[in-house]
Structure 1
């Protein structure tokens, strides 16, 4: 059954559990750059919360470029090995590959070469992820945030080029709205759609009962394609964190 999660830091894991969510989605880049002692403290805090971390976002930091003239392939591999191992250590099954700072194409750099570099790294990362039974999902980011991989349809093309069972696709309703990409893109993705991020279009806030029509359309499409992944809220609060988080969860559960 589809699980509902919330994106945030380990510091709010206990709150996310109290709000009723099934899991938390943590940022991987900070975890990958921690000392062993710091990472152990995160694991301890997560365990104490009683909430699993089923997914991680922000795969790569800006300091580890995978596109452009400054790419250090061996450094990228070393980073991916560490990051994926740490994601596995906290129980994550999905790693979200957004990371605009790492994948953006530098000015003047050939776009075709950037695509080739991105494909190369994605294949390497997927191979590493496979050893840990983790799936990497390509996150399309809107054109104000990234100049490559802006639409679900483009992520699908990249997925086909990588051709690895542990490299699939994510859809984020916020980025889809900005790119004017319809929910039909999810139908095109079909079984290759493995993770979802949701928020409001205006302000990227937590979706509430007033956003039920849009959420209903999304959930109806996910049911139609037999979606087997999970849904994470990736959004900011308005005023009352607990009340908003609980309301969003109630609306989503009603639509399951």
Structure 2
């Protein structure tokens, strides 16, 4: 399964990135989350299991005519649980390649490949070092040449290894951006395959403790979030959970 998550930062909170993305990568689906207001504030609940069939009863789904864009709405906590499960347990369809939109994608989908679209100027509070360090690729949306040049120079000064591209969101991606995304997809899939291979080699039962999972993730140099997501994909349950680490 290949999952990319999209975040917007800056003056424009929306762009045509999703539409352009699926023109370039037409085997992807776009899943957009539209959270409604929480019914009431209650006690914090962590790691509450809920059967997928019951979970989706509280979520509204709306496909576009081409069945490329899916909008799901409901309480945010249920949407996030549903997205995590629908890739593997939906009886009607399974989503092999998805672009996730809506909410704070870096926090909400930490197990996905992170694409951040930036529209300068960006308030400093929105573009914090943690966000940049967790992005896999940055796309600067159509902005004046001098402004974007200075902005990219500042990003590269502190984060030289993150790919940065200046694009016009009303047009198709440049060949350089498309090639970079394809390379990131390949690395992401390779990480998932390495995790899957280690699970099959090391485990004889369909479960793994939280402590063991965190240790194996460190040894593989992958995030615990990605490791937990592959456990979902392969049917391994995580026991003795350390407060939603996965």
- What TM-score do you get using the length of structure 1 for normalisation? 0.33
Question: Which structure: greater helix fraction?
Answer: 1
Q: Which has the higher strand share?
A: 2
Higher relative CO (CA 8 A, sep ≥ 6), structure 1 or 2?
2
TM-score (norm 2): 0.34
